[in-house]
Amino acid sequence: MTLLNKIKKYSWIVKSLLHLPWSVKKDALTTLLTAHKKYLPDTESHADVEDILKCALCPNMCRFDCPVLDCVKSETTSPAGKARIAYLYEMDRFKSRDAVNLMYACAGCGACLQWCPFGFCVEDLLHGVRRDIVDENQYIPPPLEELRETMVTYHTIFEQGCTSLHRQYGEGDTLYFAGCIALNQTKEIPAAVLTILEKAGIEYATLPEEWCCGAPLLMAGFFNEFSEFALHNKDVLSPFNRIVCSCPTCVYLFREIYPSMGVTLNTPVLHITEFLLDCVAEGLLSMKEGKKDYVYHDPCILSRRLDILKAPRTLLTSIPGIRLHESQFSGKETRCCGMGGLLSVTHPSISFEMGQKRLSQLEKKATHIITACPACKVSFTRVGAVNVADISEVISESVID
Amino acid sequence: MSKDGGSSGNRNNFEVIYPSITLSEEKKSRIMEALKKIVGKKNISDAQIDKISYSKDYWPIALRWMLEGKCAALPDIILWPHTAEQISEIFIMANEEKIPVIPFGEGSGVLGGAVPVHGGIIVDMKKMDRIISINDINLTVTVQSGINGMNLERRLNHEGYTMGHIPQSLYCSSLGGWLACRAAGQFSTKYGKIDDMLISLEAVLPQGEIIRSKLVPKSSTGPQVERILLGAEGTLGIITEATLKIWPYPEKRILASYVFTTMQEALESIRLILREGIFPAVVRLYDRIETSRHFYDTPQAKNRCMLILVMEGSSHLVDTEEKRSHALCSAQGGIACGPAPVHHWLDTRFNVRETSDFSPRDIIFDTIEVSVMWDKALKLYEAMISAMEAITGVIFASAHASHVYPQGACFYFTFGGTAGKKDALQFYRAVWSAAMRACLDAGGSISHHHGIGIMRIPWIKEELGTSYDIVNRLKKMLDPHNIMNPGKMGFDHDTSQ
């Protein structure tokens, strides 16, 4: 909002103040400028308590779209409910194991972001609280301690996990960055991507050791460890001309989060859907006919954080004969698959139920589900989806040799 | 005031405003075991974190207590039932144990109606949120009462319908809460209020009886006793299911706006529009202060009163409504401002920021909605504004007419002010008292759609007049042990703090 608009917007209140007796005017201005300090903590914290308080004082305008609340059905896990407990925690009024666990009961899906009058995402508000929890070193959920240990030791989220595609690393200036889940749980996705790259005649490279983007460390509140991952990745990724990722979270971290903490890659980072769409536009890929009915599931980070909505759809509809369906909740109003944030680590049963709910919404539209995130594919598969594929697999099958 | 000790392992540091009588460990354990058998162990909690979460609703006083490091009240137990039968068993047990039961929807009430002032059992209805059926022939939806408003409306829209009940709290309130408070939505002039939309219901009465009214559009078979649950705010039982009217999603929508020099001219235009049988879905008239607050981008609106109209439905009907309303507004001196101000309203109507922005700055902000017949409307508006402005510390008092009828209107007042060095709650209550007194003196009703809760108890007896005693007798007959949401609506104890 421009300064002129701000003046116009608040002129009514200025006019009201002008008519008041001097003593009231003085009281009003004093409280406006100083009162809020007494409702904030005396000590320094990583959390933005002023914003948390705004969320806590909201009537919960985003609650209807919160997938965690949709499963748990408790005020405690509602978005503003979490902010209220976060506020009490930061004000040192209520600290308990339950309070700490609640600070992690968020999928980080950003559904709240769509409806918030302040533009908050509850998980972003909770990041600072989690750093404070880590600093205080009390009640940190044991699975998160284990995750930290694993990541620091193996540089991936999986204990003794794979960090490489185990193939010739290539010398191209386009780096394919698969991500932890693709390297370990959905190897068919990087296989499909590399097939497409080869068919498109693109010179690419992969890393001999791919470190996690660090998102789980950031989300858990292990900021020092996260910073190490960010600095490492900056060093190894910067020499390339462009980075292509299968995982939307990696893209989001490299594009948005690293720079916000002063770690800028200076290299364009693309999600695979953006990259493949460019390949189609440049005539590097031609598709054969595909006649299936598909429903596309928008991954939360891809749609709400990265605003990549059209690319996957345009890419899919470039396959002749494909019939693409939309679920009731699609685009920016998509629902989380259950693998968002750290939910599958800290609250596995909620994560599983979210996956079931989302799958049943999608299956109402078509039996074949396409997504564009390895974690979404893992989630749908674990709750029983039979026909779920990453967009790279569908494109790989459709590309003419 | 009591200091809440909490359970072991918790670090609690806050005062509780309404200290309840703590249940003995033996009694609580017995009750918990019995309740677990009714709802299952996954649907019960006595964890401190949950008690805090259910300690209040959206009553501004309770929010202020939160800021001040206090807690309104703590329930003993929270339950999430799945069926009316489970609720019935809960009520039977609560009667035996003489323990309060407080129904809880989504906690968006602004008058303290869901605060567990005497402790007891919170019955959270969120797990009863199923849409049972949508009947296209009858144009009805049958749904459990725990459903969130937006989730109901979104599903209806997806299927090609609307219920037309769009309160500002749509995103954060439940069907059960709407029915319990006799709520009204912004599109109510066409679609009616929630009590107009209701056709039949299922409910559990305080002693455990489950009642279900017949699904017919109208009958002449004696008093509709189930209707006493509407507006009872959970003091006479819990509505568990309802069948409501729905409409095909509107084919056409026309947005129109007019500015007037005075509230009188604008009110007269509205009265005449409705007198002709024209029912725009949305009719909202803003006084000068609110016009400058919301429509600062409309040059013609300066120092004038803005009227916005949304006409929707079948295109033939809507075109006629627009034509006639334009003629009637113009005849009263209204200047047409086109659809832009209405678009602005549509875009910003759910931006509820004031409490978050101003409460932590000790600016006391609240809204008061009342209703009045046309022949007293202007007088009531002026009297209430003057009464609030007369309280030292009030920075502004303003209003808009938010719902209208051929017979009268609802005025929705907003005030903001500062207590200075005085007590914030005293200031807050002083403004409310002045507003309520002026409303009653001008012949208005003290609430149009927010209800009574705790905040309006001091005026309910005068409001209901000769009916007050009857309502009390009904309450005593249906709920002899006063288990249902005690401390609310002036049925029993004085809960003013």
Question: For chain B, what is the largest distance between any 2 Cα atoms, rounded to a whole number of angstroms?
Answer: 74
CATH code, domain with B16:
3.30.43.10
* Residue B172 to residue A60, Cβ atoms within 8 A: yes
Residue A237 within any structural domain of the chain: yes
Question: What do you get for the CA distance between the two ends of chain B, in Å?
Answer: 11
Domain range for A241: 174-277
- Residue A164 falls within a domain, yes or no? no
Q: What is the mean pLDDT of chain B?
A: 94
Question: What confidence tens digit (pLDDT) does each residue in B230-272 have?
Answer: 999 999 999 999 999 999 999 999 999 999 999 999 999 999 9
Question: Are the beta carbons of B308 and B254 closer than 8 angstroms?
Answer: no
Convert the pLDDT of each residue in B65-107 to its tens digit.
999 999 999 999 999 999 999 999 999 999 999 999 999 999 9
Alpha-carbon distance of B249 to B231, in angstroms, equals: 28
**How far apart are the CA of A140 and the nearest CA of chain B, in angstroms?**
14
- Asked if B312 and B252 count as a contact pair (C-beta separation under 8 A), the reply is yes
The number of distinct structural domains making up chain B is: 4
Burial class (CB in 10 A: 0-12, 13-18, 19+), A191: middle
Q: How confident is the model at residue A10 (pLDDT cuts 50, 70, 90)?
A: confident
Do residues B50 and B120 both lie within one domain? yes
Residue of chain B with shortest Cα separation from A81: B53
Contact A264, A258 (CB under 8 A): yes
Q: Do B393 and A56 touch (CB under 8 A)?
A: no
- Do residues B98 and B161 share a domain? no
Decide if B315 is inside a domain. Answer: yes
Chain A segment 212-271 residues within 8 A of B by beta carbon are none
Q: Mapping DSSP to helix (H, G, I), strand (E, B) and coil, where does residue B174 land?
A: strand
Cα distance from A228 to chain B (closest Cα, Å)?
A: 34
> What tens digit of pLDDT does each residue of B363-402 get?
999 999 999 999 999 999 999 999 999 999 999 999 999 9
Neighbours of B257 (CB within 10 A): 27
CB A161 within 8 A of CB A184: yes
Residue A94's φ and ψ, nearest 5 degrees, are -150, 110
Tokens, residue A208: 């001999």
Span B296-315, average pLDDT: 96
Nearest CA in chain B to A56: B356
Torsion of CA A384, A386, A389, A394, to 10 degrees: -170
Q: Would you place residue A169 in the very low, low, confident or very high pLDDT band (cuts 50, 70, 90)?
A: low
Tell me the nearest-neighbour CA distance from B242 into chain A, angstroms. Answer: 20
Assess whether pLDDT exceeds 70 at residue A210: yes
> What single DSSP character describes residue A17?
H
Are B364 and B381 contained in the same domain? Answer: yes
If you measure CA to CA, which chain A residue comes closest to B108? A59
Q: What is the C-alpha separation between B384 and B415, in angstroms, rounded?
A: 11
Q: How confident is the model at residue A167 (pLDDT cuts 50, 70, 90)?
A: confident
For chain B, give the percent of residues with pLDDT over 70: 97
Here the tokens at position B231 are: 């507006």
Residue B340 lies in a domain: yes
The dihedral region occupied by B358, where left means phi > 0, alpha psi between -120 and 50, and beta the remainder, is alpha
Q: Which residue has the higher pLDDT, B20 or B50?
A: B50
Residues of A with Cβ-Cβ distance to B172 under 8 angstroms: 59-61, 63-64
Residues B59 and B118 in one domain: yes
Among B54, B59, B66, B385, which would you mutate to test the A interface (most chain A Cβ atoms within 10 Å of its Cβ)?
Answer: B66
Residue B494 — very low, low, confident or very high, per pLDDT cuts 50/70/90?
very low
In a domain, B494, yes or no: no
8 A C-beta contact, residue B375 and residue B267: no
Distance from CA of A341 to the nearest CA of B (A): 22
Residue B13: what pLDDT?
72
- For the segment A330-338, the average pLDDT, to the nearest whole number, is 97
Query: When comparing pLDDT for B442 and A5, which is higher?
Result: B442
Q: How many residues does chain B have?
A: 497
Contact criterion met (CB < 8 Å) for A27 and B11: no
Considering the domain architecture, whether residues B270 and B374 belong to the same structural domain is answered as no
Domain containing residue B298: CATH number: 3.30.70.3450
What is the pTM for the complete model shown? 0.95
Residue at B484 is within a domain? no
Tell me which residues of chain A, numbers 59 to 118, contact chain B at a CB-CB cutoff of 8 Å. Answer: 59-65, 73-76, 81, 84-85, 87-88, 91-99, 102, 115, 117-118
pLDDT in tens, B22-79: 788 899 999 999 999 999 999 999 999 999 999 999 999 999 999 999 999 999 999 9
CA distance B446 to B431: 14
Last residue in a domain, options A277, A309, A338:
A277
Domain containing B301: what range?
Answer: 252-348
- Is the pLDDT at B319 greater than 80? The verdict is yes
**Residues of chain A contacting residue B148, judged by C-beta atoms under 8 Å apart:** 63-64
Q: Quote the minimal CA–CA distance from A387 to chain B in Å.
A: 25
Alpha-carbon gap, residue B274 to B405, rounded angstroms: 7
| Count of domains for chain A | 3
What is the number of residues in chain A? 401
Does residue A8 form part of some domain? no
* Mean pLDDT of the A68-79 span: 98
Tokens linked to B232: 């009872």
The span from the CA of B441 to the CA of B445, in Å, is 10
Q: Do A58 and B352 touch (CB under 8 A)?
A: yes
Share of chain B above pLDDT 90, in %: 93
What SS3 state is found at A262? coil
A292 plus A254 within the same structural domain: no
Of B296, B316, B348, which closes a domain? B348
Rounded to whole angstroms, how far apart are CA atoms A297 and A248?
A: 13
Q: How confident is the model at residue B11 (pLDDT cuts 50, 70, 90)?
A: low
Please write the tens of the pLDDT for every residue from A344-366: 999 999 999 999 999 999 999 99
- What is the average pLDDT score of chain A? 95
Which A residues in the span 321-340 are in contact with B, Cβ-Cβ below 8 Å?
Answer: 328
Contact assignment for B58 to A97 by CB distance below 8 Å: no
ipTM of this complex: 0.95
Domain assignment of residue B33, yes or no: yes
SS (H, E, C) B400-459: EEEEECCCEEEEEEEEEECCCCCCHHHHHHHHHHHHHHHHHHCCCECCCCCCCCCCCHHH
Q: Do A291 and A390 reside in the same domain of the chain? A: yes
- For residue B493, list its beta bridge partners: none
Instruction: For residue A286, give the DSSP letter.
Output: -
Shared-domain flag, residues B83 and B139: no
Do A112 and A198 sit in the same domain of this protein?
A: no
**Residue A387 resides in a domain:** yes
What is the pLDDT at residue B2? Answer: 36
Q: Which residues contact B109 (CB under 8 A, 6 or more apart)?
A: B57, B58, B59, B177, B181, B450, B451, B453
Cα A357 to Cα A157: distance, rounded to the nearest angstrom: 26
Give which of A40, A60, A104, A120 to mutate to test B binding, by max B Cβ within 10 Å: A60
A269 and A325 assigned to the same domain? no
The domain boundary, picked from A115, A140, A165, lies at A140
Instruction: Answer whether residue B497 shows pLDDT above 50.
Output: no
DSSP per-residue string spanning B50-99: HHHHTS--S-HHHHHHHHTTEEEE--SEEE---SHHHHHHHHHHHHHHT-
Confidence of residue A19 (pLDDT cuts 50, 70, 90): confident
Yes or no, beta carbons of A53 and B124 under 8 Å apart? no
Pick A368 or B6 by higher pLDDT. Answer: A368
Whether residue A231 is found in the same domain as residue A299: no
Instruction: Convert A33-56 to b/e letters by CB count within 10 Å (16 or more is b).
Output: eebbeebbeeeebbbbbebbbbbb
| A367 and A294 within one domain | yes
H/E element holding A371? strand A368-371
Those residues whose C-beta lies under 8 Å from the C-beta of residue B337, and which sit 6 or more positions away, are B257, B258, B259, B298, B300, B301, B306
Interface touch B53/A50, C-beta < 8 Å: no
We report the CATH number of the domain holding residue B204 as 3.30.465.10
- For A348, half-sphere exposure in the C-beta direction (CA atoms, 13 angstrom radius) is 6
- Give the A:B interface size as CB pairs under 8 Å: 170
Q: How far is CA A123 from the centre of its chain?
A: 9
What average pLDDT score do residues A234-249 get?
Answer: 96
Would you tell me which residues 30-49 of chain A have a C-beta closer than 8 angstroms to some C-beta of chain B? 31-32, 35-36, 39
Q: What is the pLDDT of residues A219-228, one digit of tens each?
A: 999 999 999 9
Q: Does residue B1 carry a pLDDT above 60? A: no
Q: Of A328, A390, A392, nearest to A360 (Cα)?
A: A328
In the sheet with B2-3, reading across from the earlier edge strand, the strands are: B2-3, B15-18, B70-73
Which is higher by pLDDT, A32 or B413?
A: B413
A156 is a domain residue = no
Q: How many angstroms separate the CA atoms of B292 and B474, rounded?
A: 47
pLDDT of amino acid B129:
98
Q: Are strands B282-286 and B305-313 parallel, antiparallel or unpaired?
A: antiparallel
Instruction: Please list every residue in chain B whose beta carbon sits closer than 8 Å to the beta carbon of residue A55.
Output: 356
Q: Are residues B358 and B344 in the same domain?
A: no
Q: Which alpha helices (DSSP H) does A168-257 contain, by range? A: 180-184, 188-199, 215-220, 223-237, 248-252
Which of B124, B141, B173 represents a domain boundary (last residue)?
B124
Same domain, A326 and A265: no
Listed residues B104, B124, B144: the one ending a domain: B124
Question: Hey, is B103 helix, strand or coil?
Answer: strand
Q: Is A75 found in the same domain as A134?
A: yes
Retrieve residue B124's tokens: 């959270």
Counts of helices then strands in chain B (DSSP H, E): 17, 22
Across the interface, whether the CB atoms of B126 and A74 are under 8 A apart is answered yes
pLDDT tens digit string along B179-230? 999 999 999 999 999 999 999 999 999 999 999 999 999 999 999 999 999 9
Q: Is residue A166 part of a domain?
A: no
B70 vs A93: CA distance, rounded Å: 9
Domain membership flag for residue B472: no
Q: Backbone dihedral region of B133: left (phi > 0), alpha (psi from -120 to 50 degrees) or beta? A: beta
Residue among B275, B278, B330, B310 at smallest CA distance from B402: B310
Q: What is the CATH number of the domain that holds A355?
A: 3.40.50
Q: Which of A258-267, A283-292, A332-341 has the lowest mean pLDDT?
A: A283-292
Residues of chain B in contact with residue A84, where contact means CB-CB under 8 angstroms, are 52-53, 66
Per-residue pLDDT, A7: 85
Q: Is residue A152 part of a domain?
A: no
In Å, how far is A333's CA from the nearest CA of chain B?
Answer: 11
- Give the distance from residue B288's alpha carbon to the nearest chain A alpha carbon, in angstroms: 9
Residue that is last in its domain, among A248, A277, A306: A277
In this structure, is residue A169 part of a structural domain?
no
Are A256 and A310 found together in one domain?
no
